[in-house]
Structure 1
Amino acid sequence: MTLWRRGFFGKGDLSRSEPSWLTRQINIRENKGKHLTAEEIREKRRAERKQFKLDRAKAIAAVAAEAEAIFAAEGRVITPALSGPAIPSAATWKPTPPSVAETSVEPSIIPNDDDQNGEQDTTEEPPLEDVEHLQLTLQEAFFLTWALDCLIVQDPETLEPLTLQQVWNAFQNAHIPIHIPKSPSQQARHFDNPFLINYVVYHHYRSLGWVIKGGIKFCVDYLLYKRGPVFSHAEFAIVVCPVYEDPEEQANSSFALQNASPFEWSWLSTINRVNSQVQKTLVLTYVTIPSAKRVSPEVLSSPACLAHYSVREVVLRRFIPARMRD
């Protein structure tokens, strides 16, 4: 919870983002509506929007039925109104509070036949154990280990703390295809390693004060938040575009980097439209991969190699003629 509350790192493995599984289970058990988690608030708003649409559709149908009844009885034509006191609007509609019968929960009672006084015992549920864990991406884990020095990575077999050099090599080796040898003398010596490309982008925006989270929900690589996902929606959607300094290295590369080759205009238009509809600005983040002819691959043995990468951003906005005349 410290990593989440002081930087929004990682996500709960039993939650969508904030590790709130235990709080949700307590709310369900105690039937309380106070101190709702972010997921519970979102589900509540979705249920309210669904109920509003149903109430509005029902009111419009009632007005239309009334107009048809008047036409059948009097022969007068009345245009059904889509607004007015009888039609709920988003500004005036309020959800109906649940009834007492729906909210009250009777305690489960098990009669005791041996009790001569007729007393009844209530069953007690066992205390809840927090079984949720925080999941970190490789980029988040290395940023916490190297940049902030507040995380220790352990060997899964010996549980011994790994050195920064071991963590650096292990995270790069995690992306190397199986057919490429991983001997100690040739550990992850590739400038286009996917871990390096994504970490360059992650470190770039984190160092500028942005909260960066995964953006697969909106078909992008990352989302940028000013303060965090619990305060407001993401303002920018990031698509990582690797650019090889030497085109020959791209042709001979063992990694099939996404968006490294020119993409179709229809794909770009689709991504831009999806993010424009959710009020996000699409940003193409170009990461220049240094050439092995100019920079020795030996620099990849330490995070100092990140100084040889460069990042450039191109902001895209969807042009809507009817809305942008001013």
Structure 2
Amino acid sequence: MSLIAPSNKRGGGKGGAQRKETNKIYANPLPLLFITPQTSHYSPYHVLGLFGLSNSRVENPHCEGSFDPVTRSVWVEDRKDAMILWRRGFFGKGDLSRSEPSWYTRQVNARKAAGKHLTAEEVRERRRAERKQFKLDRARALAQAAAEAEAAFEEGRQAPVIAIPSGATWKPQSQAPTAEVTASEVTPEDETDIQEEQPLEDVEHLQLTLPEAFFLIWTMDCLTVLDHATSESMDLKKIWTTFRAAYHPPGIPSSLSSSYLDRFDNPFLVHYAAYHYYRSHGWVVKGGIKFCVDYLLYKRGPVFQHAEFAVVILPTYEDPKDEEDSPFNLNASPYSWTWLSTINRVNTQVQKTLILTYVTIPAKSRVSTDMLSSPASLAQYSVRDVVLRRFVPARMRD
């Protein structure tokens, strides 16, 4: 028996309702859905359960995207497919947004000029504008108080009391009304534009990185990739070759193309090995270039909490001779202490734990390059991670 009575206020109020709606929207961690039919006591599905057989069926969304060699990514232009991949695992990002493809919603809200149904980016921008306005008002009040005190001191009188805005009591002022346009200033063309507003077209697409796209193709089998030149769907073998060839230097002759493909230190293979490692353990993996790292790890997703871990991929060669003739710049050489301290300091200040992920590249002398013809070669890679924390005396004293 619990000595603590459950609170009746849990999930109530505005915050609770919003949290409940968020949990409902992002309830599925992966694009594939496992649906169990509602069965009665005497249903044949119930009999299958007695023998240990599952009566669930898999619902595959079968999304579609196109490969873009310039950005080394896969574009999902259908909005329905984009929202499925984002809301079921947080795959990709909007090319016109910070994370969630919300450009169209922001434009609709801007046209309506309404304060409701704001996206996360709009809420963030509003808060930043309010903080900036608060700092300006406070600086203006402090300057005025200093000027009044100096004038009162010279005149030998008592300085007036000037209210200094504080963060607890300050409230943003309503926006000043815009100047009205007279009828004489409105041209017939402007009047036509006002009466017939142009329809808003959604020009944003979801952009998947190559490791994200290959994870959806190979592991989930829920993404079809089209060739950018022929617009025809590519099979797994062609996708495997195309994604590896995307990291080749531009303008290389065809005679050297095979030498780039038949290498275990291809950047796509190294980064996908780390991506698949963390995804398979249930983490939501997103890009971490903002914090000078390769990946960020979320427990549930960006809409629930900030990333807890920052991952730096450190390729290591099983055979040092393979590094000497490598055409790729993987920065596999040991990093300096200055670099390590800088990366660790940046991520500590944003309350993220740094993880050094060592991806061991198999040696060509041990593994034949013929294995690179299929994704089965990924089994030859090994991933080790080391947690690195910076000691902060002021925070870690207790």
Structure 2 counterpart of 1:248, from 316, 321, 326: 321
Partner-residue secondary structure (3-state), 1:271: helix
- The residue number in structure 1 matching 2:393 is 321
State yes or no: 1:191 paired with 2:264.
yes
Instruction: Indicate the residue corresponding to 1:115 in structure 2.
Output: none
Counterpart CA distance in 2 for 1:13 and 1:60 is 42
Does the CA-based 8 Å contact 1:182-1:188 persist in structure 2? no
1:244/1:250 contact within 8 Å kept? yes
- Structure 2 residue runs of 5 or longer lacking an equivalent are 1-82
Contact kept, 8 Å, 1:244 with 1:291, in 2: the verdict is yes
SS of 1:152's equivalent in the other structure is strand
Equivalent in the alignment of 2:236: 164
Q: CA separation in 2, counterparts of 1:282 and 1:104?
A: 55
Distance 2:283 2:322 in 1: 32
Hey, what does 2:120 align to over in structure 1? Answer: 38
Q: How far apart, in 2, do the equivalents of 1:196 and 1:310 lie?
A: 12
Provide the alpha-carbon RMSD of the alignment: 3.1
Measured after TM superposition, the shift of residue 111 of structure 1 is 6.7
Is 1:15 aligned to 2:87, yes or no? no
Q: CA deviation at 1:30?
A: 1.8
Trace 1:112-151 onto structure 2 (pairs within 5 A).
123-151=195-223
Range that drifts further, 144-153 or 23-32: 23-32
Q: Give CA-to-partner distance per residue, 1:43-71, whole Å, 9 cap, x none.
A: 11111111122222233334434543454
- 1:285 is matched with which residue? 357
Partner of 1:300: 372
Amino acid in the other structure paired with 1:53: K
Q: Answer whether contact 2:356 2:387 (CA < 8 A) is retained.
A: yes
2:141–2:165 Cα contact (<8 Å) kept = yes
1:164 positional shift:
0.7
Alpha carbons 2:260, 2:327 under 8 Å: kept: no
Given the superposition, is the C-alpha separation of residues 318 and 88 from structure 1 closer, same or farther in structure 2, using an over 3 Å criterion?
A: farther
Question: Which ranges in structure 1 are unaligned for 5 or more consecutive residues?
Answer: 113-119
Report the counterpart of residue 6 of structure 1 in structure 2.
88
Matching residue of 2:33: none
Paired position in structure 2 for 1:116:
none
Distance 1:284 1:207, change over 3 A: same
Q: Secondary structure at the match of 2:134?
A: helix
Q: Return the offset for 1:28.
A: 1.8
Aligned partners of 2:248 and 2:260 also within 8 Å: no
Q: 1:246 to 1:184 in 2, by over 3 A?
A: closer
SS of 2:261 mapped into structure 1? coil
Shift of the 244–91 alpha-carbon distance from structure 1 to 2, 3 Å rule, reads: farther
Q: Any conservation in 2 of the 1:172–1:188 contact (CA below 8 Å)? A: yes
**Against the structure 1 CA distance between its residues 189 and 104, is the aligned structure 2 distance closer, same or farther, given a 3 Å change threshold?**
farther
Q: Which residue of 2 aligns with 1:227?
A: 300
TM-score normalised by L of structure 1: 0.84
Question: Displacement, 1:86?
Answer: 3.8
Change in CA separation of 1:283 and 1:89 when aligned onto 2, cut-off 3 Å:
farther
In 2: Cα distance, 1:42 partner to 1:98 partner? 18
Task: Determine if contact 1:169/1:187 at 8 Å carries over to the other structure.
Answer: no
